[in-house]
A and B are shown apart, each in its own frame.
Chain A
Amino acid sequence: MPKHVAFIMDGNRRYAQKTHKVRQEGHTQGFEKLAETLRWCLNLGIHEVTVYAFSIENFKRSKEEVDGLMELARQKFSRLLTEQCFLNVCFAYTSRHEIANAVKEMAWGVEQGLINPSDVSEALLSECLYSSSSPDPDLLIRTSGEVRLSDFLLWQTSYSCLVFQSVLWPEYSFWNLCEAVLQYQLSHRSLQKARELHQEEQKLQQLESDSTCLSEILQRGGNGKPMEAQSRQNALLHYTSSREQRVQRFLNALQHKRDSFFDRLSSQTNDGEKAAKGKEEPTRRSARLSAKAAKGKKASNPAENGDAKADQAQKVDAAADSK
């Protein structure tokens, strides 16, 4: 059974057209379907879901439609927080922005003197994505019959099972989900093999990279005499360990930067709500971005990004105690 499923919820507008309703009604049905699908996922044992709610490209739509979607998000997502799973909502998102941002974060790390350019690797880039605290999706489902990724999780779905289904999102059924899961199960072994092969190649590349860096260091600081094999081996282990420590320090600094960002965002938008609800001070919205599943923490309302700035990709996690 897949542990993490991603959905491109496509077909709301075509559904509205088909059933002779207004567009907004199509989107509303779409959100209802999302709530329903989350419950099905839970029943099947799928505890993490990522959805493509709104792309940066969708800002091209009419103001009326964009405002309608924002309002819908505002109303509906808070309801979904009561479900016992991880829900990642990609809002004002594109994958290329996410990847470029991850590169930017690593560049920031280099600028701050926390890491070296040679420390940049696939693994590190993955840690700098918004989805760093989630495993890569096992299964990606796109409805409405389109067979493209549309700038969604391009990095993370390289080895995921892609299932394209022709059903329109608001008409999605439990059987459609089962069909997708079946396809995942049939591809599972091949995908596992491909993933393992890739991981092996990565390990080799990292080893090679560490070895090259070590050679450079020895050349610079050495006395010209070649090193003994054992000494070199020790030096390599030492270099690898220091690189890992450097990278960890950088990731901690990055986490701190992100937490501060969300805390600022929380305090800006939640002041009124805090008073109205009378709850204890909400902890960070992105409870997931820090250490794994903090038990007992409930995320507050998702951050709404009404600001159409292209490089503000929001990823909001709603984590609830599963026990």
Chain B
Amino acid sequence: MVFLYELVWRFLHALLYLQRALLSWFRVHVWRLKQSAVGLILPLAIGFHNRRKPGPTGKRSSRRVRWGADGRTPEKLPVHVGLLVTEEEIHYTEIASLVVWCMAVGISYVSVYDNQGVFKRNNSRLMEEIHKQQQELAGTDSSKYSVECSKNGTDKQDHQVFSCEPVVKVLSPDDGRHSIVRAAQQLCRAIELKEKTVKDINISLLDSLLRESKNIPDPDLVLKFGTVQSTLGFLPWHIRLTEIISMPSHRDVSYEDLLGALQRYAACEQRLGK
């Protein structure tokens, strides 16, 4: 009986493996076709320029970024997106593309993470790749164009538009649990020196310490690449309300894929307990 039970599980496993393999082959081949089409449409003139004073609502003097096809711009954009790579082999070009696309779309903060700290150790290589991609997309005259980031959660008709410099952060497990431990040690030292009491310790104090070290807002969205279904230690404190969207792989990922994920994010409804 036990033998039969095990056989059933193994059979189901085999089916699932087959399904995954087929799906991933299908995805790669269909998306490759789409990518070549989108590549022609994607606005090449996407650039970044320095901070300027917030302009008035309504007319703006500089040219706005347009998407490839009308009506595909997500209405609700995440302010901070985490790119969580669970795959062993990392392709810097592809990750750099994702980062640059996110920034182009108007996302203010992009975090890149893997649980082995590979990105952190190769930080400069990633940054180089990102700059290269930025140059490619911006073309020769980047000052003509600007990226506008709208303030999170504001009304469509009445929003103020700020121009901001997107921020890229490279994270590892050290920024997760261990960072909470460091904050706890700091608080305990303050207790020892009688600078604080136990009663002073609460969520907001701990939160401010955790924010102080990295100064990034909580991720609204995490795009998880790879088949491992886990956050693998990514910023546990900060992801309490983060939407986690899985994508099969960061290899051969397309701008379409990113847009699809952002549209899915825009459709999420957060009730916040109510």
Contact = CB atoms under 8 A, between A and B. Distances in A.
Interface of A: 55-61, 94-97, 99-100, 103-104, 106-108, 110-111, 116-118, 120-122, 125, 146-151, 154-155, 157-164, 178, 182-183, 185-187, 190-191, 194, 197-198, 201, 205, 311
Contact of A103 (B192, B206, B230): B206
B74 interface: no
B232 interface: yes
A213 B233 CA distance: 27
A187 B241 contact: no
A57 B272 CA distance: 7
Contact of A120 (B184, B197, B239): B184
B268 interface: yes
Given A106-B188, A148-B243, A161 B230 contact: yes
Given A97-B203, A183-B229, 11 more contacts: A56-B273, A99-B206, A99-B237, A100-B203, A103-B187, A103-B201, A116-B188, A158-B232, A158-B234, A186-B227, A197-B116
A116 B191 CA distance: 10
Contacts, number: 158
Contacts of B206: 96, 99-100, 103
A59 B239 CA distance: 21
A97 B240 CA distance: 12
7 contacts: A97-B203, A100-B202, A107-B188, A107-B191, A154-B237, A155-B236, A197-B115
A158 B240 contact: no
B63 interface: no
Contact of A187 (B197, B228, B240, B273): B228
Contact of A107 (B178, B198, B231, B233): B198
Contacts of A182: 9, 12-13, 16
B229 A163 contact: yes
Contacts of A100: 201-203, 206
A160 B232 CA distance: 8
A58 to B, nearest CB: 5
A60 B274 contact: yes
A101 B240 CA distance: 16
Interface of B: 9, 12-13, 16-17, 86, 115-116, 173, 176-178, 180-181, 183-185, 187-189, 191-192, 197-198, 201-203, 206-207, 227-234, 236-237, 239-245, 268, 270, 272-274
Contact of B198 (A104, A148, A197): A104
Contacts of A61: 273-274
A201 B201 CA distance: 28
B239 A194 contact: no
Task: In the A-B complex, list the 9 residue pairs whose CB atoms are closest, starting with the nearest.
Answer: A57-B273, A117-B188, A151-B240, A154-B236, A190-B228, A110-B188, A117-B189, A103-B184, A158-B233
A185 B13 contact: yes
Nearest to B205: A100
Contact of A162 (B201, B229, B274): B229
A201 B243 contact: no
B181 A120 contact: yes
Nearest to B273: A57
Contacts of B241: 148-151
A186 B180 CA distance: 30
Contacts of A178: 12
Contacts of A106: 184, 188
Nearest to A123: B181
A96 B237 contact: yes
Contacts of B243: 147-148
A162 B17 CA distance: 18
Given A106-B184, A107-B187, A107-B188, A162 B232 contact: no
A266 to B, nearest CB: 25
Contacts of B239: 148-149, 154
A60 B232 CA distance: 31
Contact of B227 (A107, A148, A187): A187
A123 to B, nearest CB: 9
Contacts of A157: 230-231, 236
A98 to B, nearest CB: 10
A140 B240 CA distance: 14
Given A151-B240, A187-B229, A122 B177 contact: yes
Q: Identify the interface centre among A55, A100, A103, A160: most chain B CB within 10 Å of its CB.
A: A103
